Structure 1
Amino acid sequence: MRSTMSTVYLGTLAHLKANPFETSNALEIIEYGALWVDEKGMIIDYGKRSDILAKVPEAWIEDYDDAWLIPGMIDGHVHYPQYYATAAQGGQLLDWLVQSILPAETAFADPAFANDTAKRFIKHLLSCGTTTAMVFGSQFAHANEALFNAARELGIRLIAGATLMDTPADGIPDALLQTPKQAQADAEKLIAICRDEPLLHYAITPRYALSCSEEMMMMCHGLLHNHPETYLQTHINENRNEIRAVLAHFNQCKDYLEVYERYGLVTDRTVLAHNIHPSDGELDRIGQAQCSICHCPSSNLFLGSGLFPLSRHIKHGINIALGTDIGAGVSFSLWSNLSDAYKIQQLQGLSLNPEHLLYLATLGGAKALHLENETGNFSTGKSADFFVLDYTRSDYLSERLRRCNSLEAQLFCLLHLASERQVESTYVRGRRVFFYPS
């Protein structure tokens, strides 16, 4: 019976109706709320539980009591082949890559290891309330096939592609280098698979400017042109030494962004990770191209890369997602990264409210990834992507929230104090894809 009936989920609902950086009263919190979902996993309606239940006298009821129902986290930047490379010493970005990260990525040459890790990776994201992830894949085709298979089996919305590298350099294992011809063939195969899978999307993924030859960059442009449904993701302006190295190599370019522009890779389907040290000119051109930026708070702090200039990006009308950036990030929970995002802006004189933080991880991320018509909040017709945050699993959280004088104050506390340990269930398209038994 359950598969042919709609379902009503009961709890405290919290989501963003609009962009709080542009609109007041964008945050909506409904105590004793209800989310009504049809048998296909799409949202029919939401509101006060008394109002919703009056409309649907016959429905399957999932009562989460006082727990919070929150739109699924949208992780805009995470590395699958760095799953076991978190909290690795190695200095700042470029040294850390050579010493700790690239060696770890070679392990994915083993198909059995890659297959097992793909499943663990997706399960871990789902256990943190993440329902959509934009992922840097492996350099090995079989490992990326394992990733897409795990995503399809376990139910996450995935945007991913092979991490592309073909430029030899000191410290880069030869096993991680591909030819543009082979990279294109592997990409075409996964792009074809995605056409028949509504939750799977392909992202063309040149690692960063120094890792790819002109031929590889032009191959990326060709894929993006021939397959307009795909995304392009890469890194930019993460570390000052990285920027100096890029500009020394591409000495005809006035800034980092121009390296990607010269190959036609900066479009409204492009997501650039980090952008901690942009020039005003770069921000102007990113805004004009309607390109998106992904801010990775935990990663930026761990590597000492710098403080993300959120206000400058907002001024230029740039869509911003948040990312865990595993393995420089040390938490798989995007929710936990929100506290770091708050602190980074505090250090720059910008105090974010709970609606700003929740927006960046949900509806803001959806807009950055062109998924705002599918997910990001509880609007009618969207996919029922959400997680259940049960604060009663922590005696301290229960007592702390009892002392708050508003639901907004409770949400602010949850954003800083709750963790993946309080995630009771995660849903994608109304399907429960993670459950932590009481």
Structure 2
Amino acid sequence: MRKAFRGEILSVAHDPRDDPDAVRHEADGLLIVEDGIVVARGHHADLADRFADVPTETLPGLIVPGFVDAHVHYPQMDRIASHGAQLLDWLDRHIFPAERAFAERAHADAVASAFLDELLRNGTTSALVFPTVHAHSVDALFEAARERNMRVISGKVLMDLGPDGLADTPDLARSETEDLIHRWRNKGRLGYAVTPRFALTSSDDQLRVAGDLVAAYPDVLLHTHLSENVHECAAVAARFTDARDYLDVYDRFGLVGARSVFAHGVHLSDRACTRLAESGAGVAVCPSSNLFLGSGFFDFGQADAHGVRLGLGTDVGAGTSFSMLHTAGLAYQAALAREDPLDPFRALYLATAGSAALLHIDDRVGSLEPGQEADFTVLDCAATPLLDRRTHGATLAERLFALQILGDDRAIYRTYVLGNCAWDKMTGFTARIMEAS
């Protein structure tokens, strides 16, 4: 069945720093969707006659691709805004106790459902998600994602050096990960990521297992943390005394490759940036959590000078908002702190097609091009009185930047998944239909 959506459409398919034609904008556009896939897009005047018989819905506001969150923790959502510690102490004090509760499958189901609803309410339709060490935390997330037809990538956390109640073993990590890969990989819109938490929570034997899994299943991602906090970096250096830097620890176990996604990268050496670029690995930049935990500001200038691939992540619950608009606004501030202004079109790219490319799903989502899945969100430039005043009569770049700085969940008018409305600001969530196997 075909349907059409008329309105102002904006996407940024490539990094505008590299491609002057990356920004695509139709002030009065038409998006044609068939069975959840974009089949045509262009100016209404150019397409209206061709698709005159297709039922058309006119949408107010600005239609952009659904946001792609490149790094977020679903078990941490109930510990968002937890006071008083930097990374390592914060994990011990707030996060590990919260994650122990996921030993109960019913708890995982309840949180997974609330988490995905919060993503949709904030205009996010795809995400790379940390669960817990419990295999059924992955099952809970994937089952909830299938109910909503969302594109989600995740994988059991590996941490045999974790605290009591959260530690597995290298053998269990291997067996449970392989079972989950076989059960969920490429089922519907789902993808798998081998997920060692970070270098300090896995033994050398378990890091070898992670490398073996990445080699054995070349279509999965590698998802972990890298160079987030100075105390963490010091602890890694103290344990791995012969490593050249933090990234080299992962490299020695075969964990640095084109499908590797490293969260944070706040404290990277130039050598590490060179290696990231040559390997094709990339960094999910998480400015909200970096500020909240006092970790520092990501160095966009350094990453860009080396050609490191980048995406954008909320990193809830150290991140303080599910909103990718808010996260993009903080990315602007983090970049400017190092005298690297972040253009609003590039910020939109990082929150959509850039993150999609980092997750190797940019052929499916991120730019609303024909052949892609019709995941999109409608932004309301008049969501608040202040935003309305700031955007009235403004240029496209000014409106986009105002949304980036002043916008949050209130600016999400609607969220569409595969061409179907999943969230409406006025009516809430729509009925869900289980995706066909």
**Fold conserved between structures, TM > 0.5:** yes
Contact 2:282 2:358 in 1 (8 A): yes
> What per-residue deviation string (whole Å, max 9, x for no partner) do you get for residues 144-187 of structure 1?
2111100111121111011211115xxx2x11001122222221
Match of 2:40 in 1: 45
> SS of 1:176's equivalent?
coil
Please report the RMSD computed on the Cα atoms of aligned residues, expressed in angstroms.
1.4
After TM superposition, give the deviation of residue 296 of structure 1 in Å: 0.0
CA distance in 1, matches of 2:121, 2:385: 21
Amino acid at match of 1:23: D
Query: Is 2:194 aligned against 1:194?
Result: no
Match of 2:434 in 1: none
CA distance in 1, matches of 2:252, 2:363: 31
Query: Is 2:434 aligned against 1:415?
Result: no
Query: Is 2:417 aligned against 1:428?
Result: yes
**Change in CA separation of 1:419 and 1:149 when aligned onto 2, cut-off 3 Å:** same
After TM superposition, give the deviation of residue 196 of structure 1 in Å: 5.0
Amino acid at match of 2:59: Y
> SS of 1:362's equivalent?
helix
Match of 1:209 in 2: 199
Amino acid at match of 1:391: C
Amino acid at match of 1:146: A
**Change in CA separation of 1:298 and 1:196 when aligned onto 2, cut-off 3 Å:** closer
In structure 1, which of residues 351, 366, 369 is the aligned counterpart of residue 356 of structure 2?
366
Match of 1:99 in 2: 93
Contact 2:161 2:203 in 1 (8 A): yes
Query: Is 2:230 aligned against 1:240?
Result: yes
Match of 2:58 in 1: 63
Query: Is 2:23 aligned against 1:27?
Result: yes
> What per-residue deviation string (whole Å, max 9, x for no partner) do you get for residues 343-365 of structure 1?
11111111122111111111111
> What per-residue deviation string (whole Å, max 9, x for no partner) do you get for residues 117-149 of structure 1?
110011111111111100111111222211110
Deviation >6 Å, runs of 4+? none
> What per-residue deviation string (whole Å, max 9, x for no partner) do you get for residues 219-247 of structure 1?
11111111111111111111111111101
Query: Is 2:346 aligned against 1:356?
Result: yes
Contact 1:36 1:52 in 2 (8 A): no
Query: Is 2:323 aligned against 1:318?
Result: no
- Unmatched runs of 5 consecutive residues or more in structure 2: 428-437
**Change in CA separation of 1:399 and 1:232 when aligned onto 2, cut-off 3 Å:** same
CA distance in 2, matches of 1:184, 1:24: 45
Calculate percent identity across the aligned residue pairs: 39
- In the TM superposition, 1:16-415 aligns within 5 A as 16-38=12-34, 40-65=35-60, 67-167=61-161, 172=163, 174-404=164-394, 406-415=395-404
Contact 1:90 1:100 in 2 (8 A): no
Match of 1:14 in 2: 10
CA distance in 1, matches of 2:161, 2:111: 27
> What per-residue deviation string (whole Å, max 9, x for no partner) do you get for residues 388-413 of structure 1?
11233433322321142x22211111
Amino acid at match of 2:32: W
Contact 2:73 2:317 in 1 (8 A): yes
> SS of 1:11's equivalent?
strand
The TM-score normalised by the length of structure 2 is 0.95
Contact 1:276 1:309 in 2 (8 A): yes
**Change in CA separation of 1:242 and 1:124 when aligned onto 2, cut-off 3 Å:** same
CA distance in 2, matches of 1:17, 1:372: 9
> What per-residue deviation string (whole Å, max 9, x for no partner) do you get for residues 69-126 of structure 1?
1111110100111110111123211111111111111111122111111100111111
- Unmatched runs of 5 consecutive residues or more in structure 1: none
The TM-score normalised by the length of structure 1 is 0.94
> SS of 2:49's equivalent?
helix
Amino acid at match of 2:229: N
CA distance in 2, matches of 1:397, 1:53: 32
